[in-house]
Amino acid sequence: MEFRYLGNSGLKISEITYGNWLTHGSQVGNDVATQCVRAALDEGISTFDTADVYANTAAETVLGEALKGERRESLEIFTKVYWPTGPGGKNDTGLSRKHIMESINGSLQRLQTDYVDLYQAHRYDVETPLEETMQAFADIVRQGKALYIGVSEWTADQIRAGVELSRELGFQLISSQPQYSMLWRVIEDEVVPTSRELGVSQIVWSPIAQGVLTGKYKPGQAPPEGSRATDTKGGADMISRFMRDEVLSAVQDLEPVAKDCGLTMAQLAIAWVLQNDNVAAALVGASRPEQVADNVKAAGVKLDADVMERIDAALGDVVVRDPAKTLEGMPKTRVV
């Protein structure tokens, strides 16, 4: 395992970070989830990412149990706030001071820890003044409940405004957590340059495009039974944007590239996002312990320029690059 600094801070995190979105508390049983976390620890992963909304708080509980007994100082634990949790009442969502202050307490209890290393705004809240949100984050940092603050799926302008306020309030906003993969590159034109300027790193989710970049989905064929594309609990919806024959055909052309590099297609996809110097970590989940060991082999891999060019040539026009997609995907009102 290799480690990278997160933003303009002294915090180092494992460049392969274990995330439990769509798995813990929903897709896999708690015993398998614990096995996956133990496998991550065995492979040198020290950084774990979750969110209160995952499985409506159950994912945090599972992660807290799985990490029980580990030396807290050797771990970096991340969670998030924004989406509705609990019964879904009028204040059980968003980035209001009330929801943030109550949510951090709930997350700490479920994770069985006194603090999280990184507390992230899971989306931008268009209905709450940014000043209110940033003041709440500042107070959480001063209370010692979070060491650093991050955001997820914010535009470049929103990141800039957030960083400016964080500096005025005396805390560090050091990370952005966007979707990023060979197929989804919408952060490259605006978010990444702005983040570099401001000392913000990317912690990218879905580097394997929800499994599409493994090559297991074939054009013209039904998805494998038990795969994410058949998951009616949310996985199928998320992956649907990539389940087009032209995308799946282009992905198949990556197989010889991966083979020439001595990598699986999944490892190639993870290594690809880590070539971006603004990426501090790739978030990787697992439904089986052996997947963790396989994905970790992407750590430290350096891809030559000709490999990067072959990847671009193989994928061609199926790559999504429009930076407006970040704003388009943002909730237009606070979700209840």
Whether the per-residue pLDDT at 335 is higher than 90: the answer is no
18 - beta bridge partners? 48, 284
pLDDT of amino acid 33: 83
Do residues 233 and 183 make contact, with C-beta atoms less than 8 angstroms apart?
A: no
Is the model more confident about 179 or about 332?
A: 179
**Domains of the chain, CATH where assigned:** 3-328 (3.20.20.100)
- Listed in sequence order, the residues at least 6 apart from 180 whose beta carbon sits closer than 8 Å to its beta carbon are 187, 202, 204, 205, 206, 207, 273, 276, 279
Residue 199 banded pLDDT, cuts 50, 70, 90: very high
Residue type present at position 79: T
Whether the per-residue pLDDT at 30 is higher than 80: the answer is no
What's the CA gap between 93 and 85, in Å, rounded? 7
Q: What is the pTM of this model?
A: 0.93
Is the model more confident about 231 or about 197?
A: 197
Whether the per-residue pLDDT at 260 is higher than 80: the answer is yes
pLDDT tens across 272-319, in order?
999 999 999 999 988 888 999 999 999 999 999 999 999 999 999 999
Residue 233 banded pLDDT, cuts 50, 70, 90: low
- Listed in sequence order, the residues at least 6 apart from 243 whose beta carbon sits closer than 8 Å to its beta carbon are 212, 217, 223, 229
Query: What is the set of active-site residues?
Result: 54
